[in-house]
Amino acid sequence: MAVNKDNNGYTVIFAAVMVVVVGSILAYLASSLSDKIKENERFEKQQNILYAMGVNENSDSGSVDFIPANEVEGVFSEYITEQLVISGDQITQNDEAYLIDLKKQIAAIKKGETAELPVFIGEKEGKKYYILPMYGKGLWDAIWGFMALDDELTIQGVYFDHKGETPGLGANIKQRYFMDDFIGESVLSSDRIVGVSVAKGNNDPANKIKDDNEVDALAGATITGNGVSAMISESINLYRDYLESIRAK
C-alpha cells in the first residue's frame, strides 16, 4: 500500500510518533543515568576543592591532574576538616556544604534574601587553608571556581572551570599555566580586600611580581579574562566579613 507522504494527516502522525519515540528514548536515558552523573559531579566538586588547596597529582608536565575519582571521597574527608555555611551573621557547620549551588545563592542575594555561603577549611601539613567558591560570567556562559587562601589572605591555589568558553582561547582559564600564576598573589591591597585581577600589559608575563594584585591575561580572551576578574572581586565581596575575621585572628 502506497502512503501519500505529502498528506497533512501523515505528516502530523509522523511528527507525533517521532516526538514520542525520541522523547521516551531521551527520558529513559536521562533517568537511568542521572544517579551516575550526579555522583560524577559530586566527585568533581571534591576534586576541584582539593585541587585549589594544592592536594592534587600535578607533575612537571604542566597538565592539571586531580586526585583520582575513586579515591577522592576518602582524601576529601581527610584534608577538609570543616565545612561552614555563612548565613548572615550565623556560621554553622554542615558536612554537605560543598553541594550548595553558589549560583542559586547569588540569585537569592539579588532578590534581597539571606544567602547560604559555603566555606571549606582544609588542613595540610599543619597549615590552614580557607577555600571559597566563586561564580561568574565568561564570554559565552558561566564560569566558576575555587580559591584557597591562608590566614594572611595570600592565595595558595585556585581552580577555574567554564561551561562554554572558546577552546584554545577563553577555555585556557582552566590550564595550569594560568591558574598557577595566582599562587602567591595577595587579595589585599594596602590593607583592603580587593581580589586579584587579570591584567593585559602589566609587563609581568612571568608573574614574578606577587604584590600587584594582577596576573598576566590570556591572549585572545579579553572578555573571559575580565569575567574572571569580576568573578573574583564579586565572590570575595560576599565573604568580606568572614575574611576580615580570619585576618583578625
25 binds another protein (CB under 8 A): yes
Round to whole Å and give the CA distance between 131 and 49: 7
Binding segment for another protein (CB under 8 A), chosen from 9-17, 104-112, 126-134, 148-156, is 9-17
User: Residues 120, 98: contact at Cβ < 8 Å?
Assistant: yes
- Four-residue CA torsion sign, 179, 185, 189, 191: positive
Binding mask 100-139 for another protein (x = CB under 8 A): ----------------------------------------
> In this structure, are residues 155 and 184 in contact, taking their beta carbons and an 8 Å threshold?
yes
Shortest Å, Cβ 42 to another protein:
11
**Helix, strand, coil distribution of the chain in percent, nearest 5:** 40, 25, 35
Whole-angstrom distance, CA of residue 129 vs CA of residue 54 = 10
Binding mask 28-67 for another protein (x = CB under 8 A): -xx--x--xx--x--xx-----------------x-----
Cβ-based neighbour number of residue 155 at 10 Å: 22
Among 168, 190, 192, 201, binds another protein (CB under 8 A): 168
Q: In this complex, which beta carbon is closest to another protein, that of residue 88 or of residue 220?
A: 220
Whether the Cβ atoms of residue 187 and residue 196 lie closer than 8 Å to each other? yes
Residues in touch with another protein (CB under 8 A): 5-7, 10-11, 14-15, 18, 22, 25-26, 29-30, 33, 36-37, 40, 43-44, 62, 69, 163-169, 171, 205-206, 219-220
